[in-house]
Structure 1
Amino acid sequence: MDSMVSEDEATTESDVRFPIVLRGYDRRQVDEYVRATEKRVDRHEKARRTAERRLAKAQVPAPRTAETNQANGLGRRIEKIIAVAKAEAEEIKKQARKESEDLLAAAQKATAEAESAREEMERAARREAQLILSRAEREAASIQKAHRAVLSELGQIAHAVVELRTRFGGEVKSEGTAEEKSVPLAAGATNDG
């Protein structure tokens, strides 16, 4: 009977090496190895059943040889390897879940802190804007008060001018040049005498 086991399949489980990646083995590679091992076990099982059927047809009792015992031993060893690989895969999944939960919690905390900082900045900006607005309103009120005072003084001055006009007979003459002042004096001197 031809050998149904290839060289790759003849590799024992002790020859299998998984590269170490961040936080354990590469999950994809372990899963591929488990699938390949399960396929080899299935092929061995099919080959065994085929051999048993052939033996039954030939009416020859199947001998229990060391090779059969080795195949059974190999099958148990493969089952153990598969069980260990599955357990490791579960542990890796468990660690990955915990890490993702931790990352999610950290992200939620960072988001809450950022939101809190944003709210505090908004409150500080509102306070600053309110202070600026209050100062501007006080300055505007002060300017309006000064403006009213100036208008009041101008009104008093205008009122005083009107009173002076009324008191001195109508129009108030503007002061002229020195020549204009001397002319009326000379004219007055000739009139008197």
Structure 2
Amino acid sequence: MENTVSEPEAAPEPDVRFPMVLRGYDRRQVDEYVRIAEKRVDRHEKARRVAERRLAKAQVPAPRAPEPDGAAGLGKRIEKILQVAKTEAAEIKDQARKESEALLAAAEKTVAEAESAAAETDRAAQRDAQLVISRAEDEAAAIRATHRAVLDQLGRIVDVVEELRERFGGDTDPDADAGGESPAEPETADPVPSPA
């Protein structure tokens, strides 16, 4: 004889909550909950099939045998027993169906919430990546601007040095001066700006 559900399962909580971790739900916890919910649905489905088989067996008409005189009410009692069995089987089937529907709805809700959380996590990661890229581009632009400014200053320094060479005769090496006298002081030029 096949067993039915040994003890009634507690109905799932209507509002299952999962703790938030790193901008989403703990995927392992959600997967575990869905796995348990699927097992419950399977158990209820098996119990429903067992109840249907028992009901089908109970509905097979018994062969009609002539009733002995002392068992005149036996047929009516059997009919009552069969009616009670049918009622109980229908109740078990209805309860299993309701519990299965509730578990499936809870599992679907959990999956939808997990998918939503995963999508939000993905959007947040994309926003973070875009922010990092934007900052890196800004820093690169600042470095390029500083580089151009330094090159401009170096160009101005080279121009000043060339101008000084032209003004004082080209060779500015103090050892090349045979007279030992220092060359005349150059006119004060604009100070060379220091690199920032």
The alpha-carbon deviation at position 139 of structure 1 amounts to 1.0
In the aligned structure 2, how far is the partner of 1:31 from the partner of 1:75?
A: 23
Within a 5 Å distance, the mapping from 1:60-139 to structure 2 comes to 67-70=68-71, 72-139=72-139
1:21 and 2:6 matched: yes
Identity, in percent, stands at: 49
Would the aligned equivalents of 2:58 and 2:82 in 1 still touch at CA under 8 Å? no
TM-score (norm 2): 0.59
In the aligned structure 1, how far is the partner of 2:55 from the partner of 2:135?
A: 76
Give the helix-richer structure, 1 or 2. Answer: 1
* Higher RCO (CA < 8 A, seq sep 6+): 2
TM-score (norm 1): 0.60
Larger radius of gyration: 1
The alpha-carbon deviation at position 143 of structure 1 amounts to 0.6
1:35 and 2:20 matched: no
For each residue in 1:61-108, what CA deviation from the matched residue of structure 2 results, as whole angstroms up to 9, or x when unmatched?
A: xxx9xx3341x3222211111111111111111111111111121112
1:124 and 1:38, CA in 2 relative to 1: closer, same or farther beyond 3 A? same
1:140 and 1:29, CA in 2 relative to 1: closer, same or farther beyond 3 A? closer
The alpha-carbon deviation at position 31 of structure 1 amounts to 3.9
Counterpart code for 2:153: E
- RMSD between aligned residues: 3.1
The alpha-carbon deviation at position 33 of structure 1 amounts to 7.7
In the aligned structure 1, how far is the partner of 2:110 from the partner of 2:4?
A: 34
Q: Which runs of 5+ in 1 are unaligned?
A: 1-17, 49-63, 186-193
Q: Which runs of 5+ in 2 are unaligned?
A: 10-46, 181-196
The count of corresponding residues between Structure 1 and Structure 2 is 141
